[in-house]
Amino acid sequence: MDPENIMTGITKEIESALKAMAKAKSPEEKLTHSKTVKNLCESLGVFLSFAGDMIPYDDDGEPLPF
């Protein structure tokens, strides 16, 4: 499966979980949605870390332009 599609899917799930958490009434519901968001964000972090490791370094000794 394409990592970009996985990251897009996780991002959409995070958005929907945040919207559901905003609509939740009880603290238990909010806690459940909060744990879901936390787990999804950690999963997205794994993919972002992997993508960062895949980007080649261009270390020619010059400062970065930004």
Q: How many helices (H) and strands (E) does the chain have?
A: 2, 0
Write down the pLDDT at residue 26. 94
Alpha-carbon Rg for the chain, nearest whole angstrom, is 17
Write down the pLDDT at residue 31. 95
Q: What is the pLDDT of residues 14-60, one digit of tens each?
A: 999 999 999 999 999 999 999 999 999 999 998 888 777 776 665 66
Enter the pTM of the model: 0.73
Dist. CA 41–CA 43, nearest whole Å: 5
**For 11, left (φ over 0), alpha (ψ -120 to 50), or beta?**
alpha
